[in-house]
């Protein structure tokens, strides 16, 4: 049974307007769905161009048939998330709207269940469950489930790194891998860490902070610390990966656009038995010296068509940070890069 029951749908041929009434069986969850001062409903109205009115545990949606149905799917999906113990944020609401629209745009993809409910990919650990908030995020999360080597490529804020770490945390928690290996080019084209104070972990930590943040989001902090101390979560500077074979591991290379072709080939050939490898990066933000080929760009070209390699490309429509981030990405795309016209530093 749908979390929100559609009581009636009417359509006027003259005005081509649909009228959908939804009733929710839990008043407390309905209130959480609406948001403070109905802010969530207002957000859906603004995104879809429909009229939404609430009265008690009942919502009335008016608009064109297609948009009203998208609003119904959005509300139904968000109510289901609340039933499962989730909390609604503005980005969660935006993601539900994005997926409801995508279900119409791409009917052949697995975004609809029974042609009425959204079937959104998710990643779950004991601490948290996250759901896909865009069509490309959905494709990425499904690719991570079934493929041993996945490239997530696109602009900042699309969730490519966060989802990679979340998936790795889930695999570790479920015993599907024995460890997580995190790697990232430390600075520009090389790993020149000697001038930084502290031991190797302290030298590399600033560059891996986004990966740590995602780990702490998906796992209790004390478990993360114990896993790092025990070597179950390993910090491996890219330069130190040479000669290793990584088996029974989830291996993540972040900011891969700043690898050289030789570094990238070396990294990819570390893949061992029962291992999953995830490579993320943004080819528009390369910090390598001028006239130096990016290992990520070359790998995407060389591995095109290779069985077992999945490439998911994100765009500004997948940005799940502050809405202004998507506008910033679009503005720079229109300008052809940074104000100087060259790729800028990684975010």
- How far apart are alpha carbons 231 and 309 in whole angstroms? 28
- How far apart are alpha carbons 95 and 131 in whole angstroms? 9
Query: Which CATH code fits 129-335?
Result: 3.40.50.300
pLDDT at 203 (0 to 100):
60
Check: CB of residue 345 under 8 Å from CB of residue 257: no
Question: What does the pLDDT look like over 98-150, one tens digit per residue?
Answer: 888 877 765 445 555 544 667 788 999 888 888 888 889 999 999 999 999 99
The rounded percent of the chain whose pLDDT value lies above 70 is 80
pTM for the model: 0.77
Q: Outline which parts of the chain fall under CATH 3.30.1370.10.
A: 4-120
pLDDT at 188 (0 to 100):
43
Indicate the range of 30-39, 103-112, 321-330 predicted with least confidence. Answer: 103-112
pLDDT at 300 (0 to 100):
95
User: Average of pLDDT values for 79-88?
Assistant: 88
Check: CB of residue 78 under 8 Å from CB of residue 96: yes
User: Average of pLDDT values for 188-197?
Assistant: 48
Count of residues making up the chain = 347
Report whether pLDDT(205) > 90: no
Report whether pLDDT(337) > 60: no
User: Average of pLDDT values for 55-60?
Assistant: 91
Check: CB of residue 18 under 8 Å from CB of residue 65: yes
Check: CB of residue 202 under 8 Å from CB of residue 190: no
Q: Outline which parts of the chain fall under CATH 3.40.50.300.
A: 129-335
Indicate the range of 36-40, 52-56, 185-189 predicted with least confidence. Answer: 185-189
User: Average of pLDDT values for 86-100?
Assistant: 88
Report whether pLDDT(51) > 60: yes
Check: CB of residue 63 under 8 Å from CB of residue 50: yes
Which residues, 6+ apart, have CB-to-CB distance to 204 below 8 Å? 184, 186, 193, 235, 237
pLDDT at 347 (0 to 100):
37
pLDDT at 7 (0 to 100):
42
* Multiple choice CATH, 4-120, 3.30.1490.20, 3.50.50.60, 3.40.50.1000, 3.30.1370.10: 3.30.1370.10
């Amino acid at each position: 049974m749908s979390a929100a029951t559609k009581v009636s749908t009417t359509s006027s041929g003259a005005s081509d307007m649909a009228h959908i009434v939804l009733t929710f069986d839990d008043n407390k969850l309905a209130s959480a769905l609406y948001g403070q001062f109905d802010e969530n409903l207002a957000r859906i109205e603004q995104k879809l161009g429909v009229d939404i009115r609430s009265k008690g545990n009942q919502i009335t949606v008016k608009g064109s048939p297609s948009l009203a149905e998208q609003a119904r799917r959005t509300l139904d999906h968000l109510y289901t998330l609340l039933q499962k113990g989730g909390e609604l944020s503005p980005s969660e609401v935006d993601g539900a709207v994005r997926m409801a629209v995508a279900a119409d745009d791409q009917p052949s993809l697995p975004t609809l269940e029974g042609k009425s409910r959204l079937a959104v990919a998710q990643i779950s650990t004991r601490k948290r469950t996250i759901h896909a908030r865009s069509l490309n995020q959905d494709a990425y999360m499904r690719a991570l489930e079934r493929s041993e080597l996945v490239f997530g490529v696109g602009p900042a804020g699309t969730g490519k790194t966060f989802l990679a770490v979340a998936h790795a945390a889930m695999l570790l928690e479920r015993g599907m891998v024995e460890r997580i290996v995190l790697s990232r080019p430390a600075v520009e084209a090389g790993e020149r860490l000697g001038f930084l104070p502290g031991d190797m972990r302290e030298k590399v930590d600033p560059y891996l902070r986004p990966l740590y943040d995602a780990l702490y989001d998906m796992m209790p902090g004390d478990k993360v610390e114990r896993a790092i101390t025990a070597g179950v979560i390993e910090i491996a500077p890219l330069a130190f990966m040479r000669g290793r074979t990584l088996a029974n591991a989830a291996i993540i290379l972040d900011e891969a656009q700043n690898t050289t072709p030789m570094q990238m080939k070396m990294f990819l050939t570390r893949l061992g038995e029962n291992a999953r490898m995830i490579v993320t990066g943004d080819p528009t933000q390369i910090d390598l010296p001028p006239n130096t080929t990016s290992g990520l760009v070359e790998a995407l070209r060389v591995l095109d068509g290779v069985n077992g390699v999945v490439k998911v490309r994100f765009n500004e429509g997948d940005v799940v940070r502050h809405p202004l981030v998507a506008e910033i990405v679009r503005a720079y795309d229109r300008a052809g890069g940074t104000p100087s016209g060259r790729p800028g530093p990684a975010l």
